[in-house]
Amino acid sequence: MTARLATGYGMALLLPLLQACASGGDTLSAPASSAAAAANLQLGSAYLQQGNLPVAKDKLERAAAESPRDPVIHGLLALLYERLGDDKRVDGEFRTALRLAPHDPELLNNYAVYLCGRNRVDEGVAHFEEAANNRLYRTPWAAYTNAGVCLHGARRDVEAEARFKLALQARPDYAEAAVQLAQLELDQGREVDAYQRVNGFLGANPASPELLLLGWRAASALHDRVATAHMAWRLQTEFPDSEQAHIASGGRSAKP
C-alpha cells in the first residue's frame, strides 16, 4: 500500500466534493448564484460521478459561464479536466477556486492531491498542511496522512514519518496512517518497529487486511514463525477472500 497518492488516489479524495454538490451540501463556500447555474452544477456533478465526461463538461462549463465566481464549480471543473488529462486547465481551475475561497480546506486538500500526483511535492505538502490546520476541516488526520504519502513517494522519509505520526496523534484509530507508517518502516528495513506498530494498533483497534499483511511481512522478515503464523491465521479467518489472505496463504491456517 505504498504511495497511493501518486498512483491515482486523487479521485477517491475528490469524491466528497462531488457528493456534496450532488446532495446540496456545503462542503465549499459559495452556492451557485442563479437557478440555471445551480441546475447545471447539479447535473454536471452527477454526470461526472457517472463517468459521462462530455456531458459533464458541457454542464459544468455552462455553470461556470452563468456563475463565474462560484468556487464549487471551479473545483469540479478542475476534477473534470484532470480526468480529461488537461493539466494546464486543472491548475488554472484550482487556482481560480482558491482565489475565490482561499481558506477552504476541501479545496486545499484536493489541490494538494493534484500537486503531489504531479511531483510538485513542496507545494502539495504545504496545501495539505494548510488544510489540516484549518479548524473547519473535519478530517485533519487524512490531510496529514496524504502529506506523508506524498513525501514518502519523494523518498523524504523523515518528513513523511513525522506527518504520519501527526495523523495518529490527531486520530489514534486512523488505520490508514498506521498502515502507511508501518509500510515506511518496512521499506527502511525497520522490521521490529513495523511489527510493533501493527501489533500495538491491532491491540486497540479493529483489524484490516492491509495491517495484518504488514504484520505478517514484518514477522516473516524477523523469522518469527509464531507471529508469522498468527498473522496468517487472522487473515485467513477474518478476511478469507482478501488478496492479502491469498498472499499470506503460505502461513499456517490453524491458530498457533
Report how far residue 195's alpha carbon sits from residue 25's, in angstroms, rounded to the nearest whole number. Answer: 41
Q: Which residue range(s) make up the domain with 182?
A: 172-256
Residue 225 lies in a domain: yes
Of residues 20 and 90, more confidence is placed in: 90
pLDDT at 255: 42
What type of residue is 64? Answer: A
22 pLDDT more than 50? no
Q: How many domains does the chain have?
A: 1
Instruction: State the average pLDDT over residues 60-84.
Output: 95
**pLDDT (tens digit per residue) in 145-157:** 999 999 999 999 9
Residue 23 lies in a domain: no
Report how far residue 86's alpha carbon sits from residue 79's, in angstroms, rounded to the nearest whole number. Answer: 10
- Residue 89: what are its φ and ψ, rounded to 5°? -75, -30
Instruction: State the average pLDDT over residues 14-20.
Output: 43
pLDDT at 30: 45
Residue 223 lies in a domain: yes
Report how far residue 80's alpha carbon sits from residue 204's, in angstroms, rounded to the nearest whole number. Answer: 40
Residue 227 lies in a domain: yes
pLDDT at 198: 97
Instruction: State the average pLDDT over residues 198-218.
Output: 96
pLDDT band at 40 (very low <50, low <70, confident <90, very high): very high
**pLDDT (tens digit per residue) in 177-203:** 999 999 999 999 999 999 999 999 999
CA atoms within 13 A on the CB side of 204: 12
pLDDT at 33: 56
130 pLDDT more than 50? yes
256 pLDDT more than 70? no
pLDDT at 6: 32
pLDDT at 34: 83
pTM, two decimals, is 0.80
Identify the burial level of 132 via C-beta atoms within 10 angstroms of its C-beta, where 0-12 means exposed, 13-18 middle and 19 or more buried: buried
Q: Which of 4-18, 60-74, 118-132 has the lowest mean pLDDT?
A: 4-18
Residue 53 lies in a domain: no
Report how far residue 79's alpha carbon sits from residue 94's, in angstroms, rounded to the nearest whole number. Answer: 9
- Considering only CA atoms, which of 59, 45, 53 is closest in space to residue 14? 45
Report how far residue 114's alpha carbon sits from residue 91's, in angstroms, rounded to the nearest whole number. Answer: 8
What type of residue is 175? Answer: A
29 pLDDT more than 60? no
Give me the chain's average pLDDT, please. 87
Residue 241 lies in a domain: yes
pLDDT at 121: 97
What is the CATH classification number for the domain harbouring 216? 1.25.40.10
Residue 256 lies in a domain: yes
Instruction: State the average pLDDT over residues 38-55.
Output: 95
Residue 114 lies in a domain: no
